[in-house]
């Protein structure tokens, strides 16, 4: 397996492949991890997923968390503490730290990471994928069965695969600098909307501030590097003062372009993370969205490589992950519209701010930004949990008290038998007798006082519910639907 790009998504995907015993090579063009963080935070669904791999404490260790977030820089906060989640907060984890922790995880599991290796071309045939790579010792060709482009917004892999990347935007220019401000005490804090644009200003540490201007008017030469002069000029224009910004350690410029790959798979080539979708970084959603791509794709790709993937499993990656990206692109476009400095937008902002004081509206936004409303369309007997992320069920098992996430650490599926129904055991045993490695689904007999009606639950390795039945379901329905679910998600060979 080739993973092109060793950003957060590539590193997590490689780790997810390794946990499923697939050899993955990460090709990353940067010789060293960048010291500059684009993203700052991890949202609830990312934390819940990391928890299912036993990783969340590494991320929480020494990191601060926020109960609040913003939507379009409006005056009312989005309250993450209202989420129905064990992780009802946003974790402050700079992207460099997130990348380091994910890289450490990938390396621990035995991933080969080649830094300073740039992929310059990718082609595929019926049996595999071939990448042209330029490394420190020169050019070479690497062949693998599949390749995943985790190579960011300008993805070469996506282009080489002929995957289109349609979208909108490019009208708002954001200029960003991690700079020193002489008067830290009186520096603006957070997001400020002026008649000319927006200013974003937050302290990063005891020395640096992150300062950004969002310019809704100026045309700019595409691809030109941002200079301190251009940033301070933009600050003066939008904020009326350049805040004395100096000594930048990082300058970056980006736009509001919001694009999405028209398909996430072309034959043996797939795309994930920013290579599959980009948008304006409002609401801190990009890394989180990409990490969920990796959790969704890793086990499906591993199953395909091991030869037990049922028909359509790999294609379900595209089907399931397009929707969440569309939602994120839509909400970032909505935020851009609300951030427009045009005075005609002000009453709309006021109205929206007022709406956000309503509990339900605020909760809706918190759920949307933190990704916890994502659920997949999965066939099976109707059940409130079907397709949703499995909760942190408190179980009592033969081994003692356990929570459901404990069974997902190794990246396998889990079948919970909560009512001692013989047809669940019999169906599982029949299925496992016919497959090469039944360990891909762990069968656990348990009780769950918190879910007295629930009789059985089949959870995929990414934590989503593939099958659920309550105690009132007749035996034949349980037997047939469980057999179908096992075959659909975990194969028959």
Contact residues for ligand FAD (CB under 6 A)? Answer: 4-10, 27-30, 38-41, 95, 118-119, 150-152, 156, 176, 254, 273-274, 281, 284-288, 290
Q: Contacts for 135-140 with beta carbons within 8 Å, 24 or more apart? A: 136/31
Report the run of H or E that residue 287 belongs to, with start and end: helix 286-306
Which residue, 151 or 320, is less far from ligand FAD as judged by CB? Answer: 151
Between CA 377 and CA 368 the distance in angstroms is 18
CB 212, min distance to ligand FAD, A: 7
Residue placing its CB nearer to ligand FAD in the complex, 51 or 293: 293
Task: Let me know: does 463 contact 49? Beta carbons within 8 Å.
Answer: yes
> Cβ of residue 157: shortest distance to ligand FAD, in angstroms?
7
Rounded-to-integer distance, Cα 329 and Cα 332, Å? 5
**Distance in Å, CB of 321 to ligand FAD, minimum:** 13
CB nearer to ligand FAD: give 8 or 387. 8
Rounded-to-integer distance, Cα 262 and Cα 167, Å: 10
Nearer to ligand FAD, 28 or 76 (CB): 28
Cβ at position 257, least distance to ligand FAD in Å: 11
In three-state secondary structure terms, 318 is helix
Q: Which is nearer to ligand FAD, 42 or 459 (CB)?
A: 42
Gap between the Cα atoms of 122 and 395, Å rounded: 47
CB of 356 to ligand FAD, least distance (A): 20
- The nearer residue to ligand FAD, 317 or 428, going by C-beta atoms, is 317
For 28, 137, 162, the CA distances from 116, given in Å and listed in that order, are 6, 10, 25
Integer-rounded Cα radius of gyration of the chain: 24
Question: Which CB, 111 or 473, lies closer to ligand FAD?
Answer: 111
Question: Two tokens at 490?
Answer: 């975990």
The least distance separating ligand FAD from the CB of residue 11, rounded to whole angstroms, comes to 8
Residue with tokens 């650490």: 409
8 A C-beta contact, residue 174 and residue 254: yes
Query: How many helical (H) and strand (E) elements, i.e. helices and strands, does the chain have?
Result: 12, 28
C-beta atoms surrounding 165 within 10 Å: 19
**Min dist. Cβ of residue 221 to ligand FAD (A):** 19
């Amino acid at each position: 397996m080739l993973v092109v790009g060793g950003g957060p998504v590539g590193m997590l995907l490689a780790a997810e492949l390794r946990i499923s015993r697939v050899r993955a090579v990460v090709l990353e063009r940067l010789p060293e991890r960048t010291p500059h963080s684009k993203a700052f935070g991890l949202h609830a669904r990312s934390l819940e997923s990391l928890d299912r791999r036993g990783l969340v404490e590494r991320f929480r260790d020494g990191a601060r968390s926020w109960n609040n977030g913003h939507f379009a820089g409006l005056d009312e906060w989005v309250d993450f503490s209202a989420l129905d989640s064990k992780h009802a907060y946003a974790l402050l984890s700079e992207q460099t730290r997130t990348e380091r922790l994910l890289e450490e995880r990938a390396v621990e599991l035995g991933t080969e990471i080649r830094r300073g290796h740039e992929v310059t071309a990718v082609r595929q045939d019926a049996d595999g994928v071939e990448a042209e790579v330029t490394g420190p010792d020169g050019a070479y060709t690497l062949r693998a069965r599949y390749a995943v482009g985790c190579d960011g917004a300008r993805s070469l892999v996506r282009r080489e695969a002929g995957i289109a990347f349609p979208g909108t935007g490019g009208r708002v220019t954001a200029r960003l600098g991690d700079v020193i401000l002489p008067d830290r005490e009186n520096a603006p804090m957070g997001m400020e909307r002026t008649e000319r644009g927006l200013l974003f200003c937050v302290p990063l540490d005891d020395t640096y501030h992150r300062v950004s201007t969002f310019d809704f008017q100026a045309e700019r030469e595409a691809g030109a590097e941002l200079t301190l002069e251009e940033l301070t000029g933009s600050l003066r224009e939008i904020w009326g003062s350049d805040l004395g910004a100096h000594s930048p350690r990082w300058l970056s410029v980006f736009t509001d372009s919001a694009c999405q790959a028209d398909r996430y798979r072309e034959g043996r080539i797939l795309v994930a993370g920013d290579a599959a979708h980009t948008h304006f970084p409002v609401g801190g959603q990009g890394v989180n969205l990409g990490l969920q791509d990796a959790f969704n794709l890793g086990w499906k790709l591993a199953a395909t490589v091991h030869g037990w993937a049922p028909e359509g499993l790999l294609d379900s990656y595209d089907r399931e992950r397009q929707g969440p990206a569309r939602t994120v692109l839509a909400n970032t476009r909505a935020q851009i519209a609300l951030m427009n400095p045009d005075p005609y937008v002000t009453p709309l902002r006021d109205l929206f701010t007022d709406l956000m004081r309503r509990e339900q509206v605020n909760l809706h936004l918190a759920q949307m930004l933190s990704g916890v409303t994502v659920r997949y369309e999965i066939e099976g007997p109707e059940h409130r949990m079907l397709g949703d992320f499995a909760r942190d069920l408190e179980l009592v098992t033969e081994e003692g008290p356990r929570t459901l996430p404990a069974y997902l650490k190794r990246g396998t599926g889990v079948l919970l038998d909560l009512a001692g129904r013989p047809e669940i055991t019999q169906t599982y045993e029949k299925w496992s007798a016919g497959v090469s490695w039944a360990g891909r689904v762990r069968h656990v007999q348990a009780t769950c006082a918190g879910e007295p009606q629930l009789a059985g639950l089949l959870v995929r390795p990414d934590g989503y519910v593939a099958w659920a039945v309550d105690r009132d379901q007749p035996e034949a329905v349980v037997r047939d639907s469980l057999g179908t679910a096992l075959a659909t998600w975990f194969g028959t060979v």
